[in-house]
């Protein structure tokens, strides 16, 4: 079979891959930075094993399923959401494990975009005489690991921008007060989002106005269902702070989890004593490229990807930083939580963006989902490329 198989998949194939995707979804919160992967093994259209990757550094989905088999897997069919790895990392190659097990057929949802794999796992299986079919429910499988796919294909993290606003598009009072615009159901969803991401990015303006925690506050039983604990659930907190204006008494500096202050190289060179005080408080300081008081967003994201191995970034910031990410074309998904309230013209807007000279310059988004959360509406949108004819 070729890497782009044209196999006509049976209803049973589709059902089994859907089950593998459901299994993979159990690891979405706990596997980062590794992709979430699920695996089902069948013998004569009977499930004999299931498995999913539960945590980075632990066995991958294929090996978990092989270990869970209730009978011999010789001649069996394996359904896996991502191409089996073919390289040695923290665990040995899954392609080798499948070859050694004697399975006859491997059905793969999507090829691994990781250059270390990128078809080599499939080739290893085919060289051993195993039938390989690929491309079944590939879009569903890719949706589970948007950050991983973005990092491997585009060399940057997947960015989700979260905004909580009123019906008239306001996000905070004139004095910066923003707690709470939305209801408890929306806030719970935000904590789930935080738990899914490797990092949360905010601006120093938000720190000065709100003194936020930017941590995950979910009950222990919910964390356990997500494969997390109260100790390991918190994303890296990243504050964009070109002038190092974050107070040494900021709440987030004393909370579990890491806080990273990103500043300009000029400020870093002139603030060695202050930086040492931040380190004593438990914060870390990193200098990136900047243009005056504005940090270079691509440099920020490159650091997070290359040095922190963070593939999913959540931006939870005020109008200036939120607008900067949109203007830079760095937002993959816009998550909007809209409350049924009006805050008036003195309140702060959702985004600070330059004025438009022509309608053709407008920023257009496409709705991906709309749902009610308590009294609020939760919208997920993606950027849309618009032709001149559509203006």
CATH architecture designation of domain 11-145: 3-Layer(aba) Sandwich (3.40)
Q: What is the pTM of this model?
A: 0.90
Instruction: Provide the 3-class DSSP secondary structure of residue 268.
Output: helix
Consult the annotation and say whether 210 binds a ligand.
yes
The residue assigned the tokens 């941590």 is: 215
Consult the annotation and say whether 323 binds a ligand.
yes
pLDDT tens by residue, 109-162: 999 998 877 788 999 999 999 999 999 999 999 999 999 999 999 999 999 999
Segment among 7-11, 182-186, 197-201, 317-321 with least mean pLDDT: 7-11
DSSP β-ladder status, 236-240 and 259-264: parallel
Consult the annotation and say whether 160 binds a ligand.
no
Consult the annotation and say whether 284 binds a ligand.
no
Consult the annotation and say whether 107 binds a ligand.
no
Consult the annotation and say whether 237 binds a ligand.
no
DSSP β-ladder status, 333-338 and 312-315: unpaired
DSSP β-ladder status, 312-315 and 199-203: parallel
Give the pLDDT score at 391. 37
From 70, 152, 75, select the one nearest 110 (Cα to Cα). Answer: 152
Active-site residue, from 50, 58, 62, 389: 62
What is the enclosing helix (H) or strand (E) of 348? strand 348-349
CA 290 – CA 52 distance, rounded (Å) = 42
Domain extents in the chain: 11-145, 156-383
pLDDT band at 74, cuts 50/70/90?
Answer: very high
Consult the annotation and say whether 227 binds a ligand.
no
pLDDT band at 172, cuts 50/70/90?
Answer: confident
Q: Which two structure tokens, joined as six digits, stand for 361?
A: 């310059």
The answer, yes or no, to whether the previous bond of 288 is cis (omega within 30 of 0) is no
Give the pLDDT score at 211. 92
Structure-model confidence comparison of residues 391 and 20, the more confident one: 20
pLDDT band at 2, cuts 50/70/90?
Answer: very low
pLDDT band at 273, cuts 50/70/90?
Answer: very high
Based on the residue annotation, tell me whether 358 is a catalytic residue of this protein. Answer: no
pLDDT > 50? residue 387: no
Which residues have C-beta within 8 Å of that of residue 163, sequence separation ≥ 6? 171, 322, 334, 335, 336, 337, 350, 351
Give the pLDDT score at 177. 59
Q: Percentage of residues in the chain with pLDDT exceeding 70?
A: 94
Q: Would you tell me the crossing angle of helices 120-127 and 94-101 to the nearest 10 degrees?
A: 20
The answer, yes or no, to whether the previous bond of 360 is cis (omega within 30 of 0) is no
Q: Would you tell me the crossing angle of helices 94-101 and 61-68 to the nearest 10 degrees?
A: 30
From 201, 192, 191, 150, select the one nearest 33 (Cα to Cα). Answer: 150
Over residues 6-26, mean pLDDT: 92
Over residues 305-333, mean pLDDT: 94
Q: Number of helices (H) and strands (E), helices first, in the chain?
A: 13, 18
CA 283 – CA 261 distance, rounded (Å) = 7
pLDDT tens by residue, 176-198: 656 688 999 999 999 999 999 99
Burial 272-302, CB ≥16 within 10 A → b, else e = eebbeebeeeebebbbbebeeeebebebbbb
pLDDT > 50? residue 4: no
CATH architecture designation of domain 156-383: 3-Layer(aba) Sandwich (3.40)
Over residues 96-101, mean pLDDT: 92
Over residues 359-369, mean pLDDT: 87
pLDDT > 80? residue 173: no
Are 121 and 94 within 8 A, CB to CB? Answer: yes
Give the pLDDT score at 119. 85
Radius of gyration of the chain (CA): 23
């Amino acid at each position: 079979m070729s890497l782009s198989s044209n196999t006509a998949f049976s209803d049973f194939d589709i059902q089994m891959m859907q089950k593998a995707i459901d299994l993979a979804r159990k690891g979405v919160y706990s596997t980062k930075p590794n992709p979430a992967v699920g695996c089902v093994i069948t013998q004569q259209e009977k499930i004999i094993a299931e498995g999913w990757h539960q945590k980075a550094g632990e066995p991958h989905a294929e090996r978990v399923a092989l270990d869970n088999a209730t009978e011999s897997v010789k001649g069996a069919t394996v359904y896996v959401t991502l191409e089996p790895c073919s390289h040695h990392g923290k665990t040995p190659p899954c392609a080798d494990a499948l070859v050694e097990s004697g399975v006859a057929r491997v059905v793969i949802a999507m090829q691994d975009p990781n250059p270390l794999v990128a078809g080599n796992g499939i080739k290893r299986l085919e060289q051993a005489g195993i039938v390989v079919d690929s491309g079944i429910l590939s879009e569903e499988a890719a949706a589970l690991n948007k950050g991983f796919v973005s990092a491997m294909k585009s060399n940057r993290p997947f960015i989700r921008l979260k905004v909580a606003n009123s019906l008239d598009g306001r996000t905070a009072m004139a004095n910066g007060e923003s707690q709470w615009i939305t209801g408890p159901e929306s806030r719970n969803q935000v904590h789930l989002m935080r738990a899914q991401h490797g990092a949360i990015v905010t601006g120093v303006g938000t720190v000065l106005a709100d003194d936020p925690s930017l941590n995950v506050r979910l009950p222990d039983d919910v964390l356990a269902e997500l494969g997390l604990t109260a100790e390991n659930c918190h994303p890296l907190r990243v504050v964009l702070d070109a002038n190092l204006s974050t107070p040494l008494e900021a709440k987030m500096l004393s909370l579990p989890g890491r806080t990273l202050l990103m500043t300009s190289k000029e400020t870093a060179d002139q603030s060695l004593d202050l930086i040492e005080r931040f380190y004593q408080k438990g914060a870390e300081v990193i200098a990136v490229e900047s243009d005056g008081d504005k940090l270079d967003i691509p440099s920020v994201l490159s650091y997070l990807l290359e040095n922190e191995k963070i593939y999913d970034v959540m931006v939870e910031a005020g109008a200036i930083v939120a607008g900067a990410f949109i203007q830079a074309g760095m937002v993959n998904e816009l998550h909007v939580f809209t409350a049924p309230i009006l805050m008036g013209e003195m309140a702060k807007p959702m985004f600070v963006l330059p004025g438009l000279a022509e309608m053709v310059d407008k920023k257009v988004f496409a709705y991906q989902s709309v749902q009610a959360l308590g009294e609020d509406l939760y919208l997920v949108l993606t950027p849309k490329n618009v032709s001149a004819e559509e203006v």
